[in-house]
Copies of this chain bind each other. A is one copy, B any other.
Amino acid sequence: MDKKIYLSESEMPAHWYNIIADMPNKPLPPLHPGTKQPVGPEDLAPLFPMELIKQEVSTERYHEIPDQVREIYKLWRPTPLVRATALEKALDTPAKIYFKYEGTSPSGSHKPNTAVAQAYYNKQEGVRKITTETGAGQWGTALSFACQQFGIECDVYMVRISYDQKPYRKMIMKTFGANIFASPSRNTNAGRAILEADPHSNGSLGIAISEAIEMAAQHDDTKYSLGSVLNHVLMHQTIIGQECIKQLEMTGDFPDVIVAPLGGGSNFAGISFPFLRYNFAEGKKIRCVAVEPASCPKLTRGVFKYDFGDTAGYTPLLPMYTLGHNFMPDAIHAGGLRYHGASVLCSQLLKDGLIEAVAAQQLECFEAGLLFSKTEGILPAPEATHAIYQVIEEARRCKREGKSETILFNLCGHGFFDLQAYEDYFAGKLMNHHMSDAQLHTNLAELEALQPA
């Protein structure tokens, strides 16, 4: 059997999988923060094209991937599934380790899977410009690429500290033709208010979301796009797992454990949701493990409550595991995981005991990432190192227990734009982070007023 398992382009899945169709407990509805009543399509129409709003609330099990989206996917999809034989050997484990490598995309991560779909539906409905936020830059890069494919203008609000510290991310977005603004910016009321209070604000993902939403809401030909959290975003990512199913069939193996990092949830959903269907429909018992950073532990230390998706409170209230929308995570290098909440779908699944969650410390994650690079020859993005950390833990457990389990994980992106993170690690500048109970208590107390009666 080859180490790298490819599908032909004609074998690329024709549908995204919508897990809502199979969930035992359906997700609770998003609420209007004023009325505490469920929001309707009309509430979301200023921000999103109607087709994406329909997908957000759909209960259909499969959605057909439009031809034009499939054609663009073919620039890099299907992506390889790889047997991590060199890592297995280094760990001397009886476990079989497979990884799905999403780093071959134009932006170097899994993010274009939904960016291309979203740009397509916006184009269909005559949208001229899309606004978005980006933290570490992976999402902004993906949307810049997708918008360029469809001739849509793209404005990216990039968290100020990343704008300053990650110049390569800014540059690659420019090569894809996007306009990049450091957030908080003077373009928006939300940005100006923050700058008035603190002219040197580092920004945050929550603030950047507020700015991008405000710009979209104020212009008829402009919509907003989010790179994770929402149901339709997670659904677009399921092409990852759908491909894995076909690829693993070729090997004769079937996963016992699936591991992915969790920031908003789209990476984790992308690889695990199509496999969870085996648990729901066929009684299989695949363990799906979400890995979050110990510095932003919404799944392992947060609460399941209604909360805003952004800092300024522009979004509907979402029922999710959260650390509170005012939570400001420490400046760790896995920027894509520094979000206060988890998607509604992942949250409901965790609440129902259908998936697992663990928290990992960044020093251990970088160490795991370097072992992976040394063995498999791919330097992983800091976000992806969280999955690798947990995979190594599982592989060591398999060795202790003498079990030959099959472990599958999502190598969601390469670390070529994140080398400063490794440099800081080598220089001893990074530390592990813990959120104090006192900080958690303060953040969560603010949530009480947001809950419905």
Contacts and interface: CB of A to CB of B under 8 A. Distances in A.
Interface of A: 2-4, 6, 8-10, 72, 74-76, 86, 104-106, 108, 145, 148, 167-168, 171-172, 174-177, 370, 373-374, 376-379, 416-417, 419-420, 422-423, 426
23 contacts: A2-B8, A2-B74, A3-B9, A6-B6, A75-B377, A76-B377, A104-B104, A105-B377, A106-B377, A106-B378, A106-B379, A145-B377, A148-B374, A167-B423, A168-B168, A168-B416, A171-B423, A172-B416, A172-B419, A174-B426, A175-B370, A175-B422, A416-B416
Nearest to A3: B74
Contacts of A376: 75
A175 B420 contact: no
A85 to B, nearest CB: 9
A373 B373 CA distance: 26
Nearest to A103: B104
How many copies altogether? 2
A439 to B, nearest CB: 33
B108 A423 contact: no
Which A-B residue pairs are the 5 nearest by beta carbons? A106-B377, A171-B419, A75-B377, A416-B416, A2-B9
A175 B416 contact: no
Contacts of A416: 108, 168, 172, 416-417
Nearest to A8: B2
A175 B75 contact: no
Contact of A10 (B2, B370, B426): B2
Contacts of A86: 75
Contacts of A422: 171, 174-175
A376 B149 CA distance: 10
Contacts of A419: 167-168, 171-172, 175
A261 to B, nearest CB: 19
Contacts of A9: 2-4
A10 B4 CA distance: 11
Contacts of A171: 419-420, 422-423
Nearest to A11: B2
Given A2-B74, A106-B377, A171-B422, 19 more contacts: A2-B8, A2-B9, A2-B10, A3-B74, A75-B376, A75-B377, A76-B377, A104-B104, A106-B373, A106-B379, A167-B419, A167-B423, A168-B419, A171-B423, A172-B379, A174-B422, A174-B426, A175-B419, A176-B373
A67 to B, nearest CB: 14
B423 A174 contact: yes
A87 to B, nearest CB: 11
A378 B107 CA distance: 9
Contacts of A72: 377
Nearest to A86: B75
Contacts of A174: 422-423, 426
Contacts of A10: 2
Contacts of A373: 106, 175-176
A417 B415 CA distance: 11
Which one of A148, A376, A423 has the highest number of Cβ atoms from chain B below 10 Å of its Cβ?
A423
Contacts of A177: 374
A3 B73 CA distance: 11
A108 B379 CA distance: 11
Contacts of A420: 171
Given A108-B416, A168-B168, A417-B416, A379 B175 contact: yes
A25 B390 CA distance: 59
Contacts of A4: 9, 74
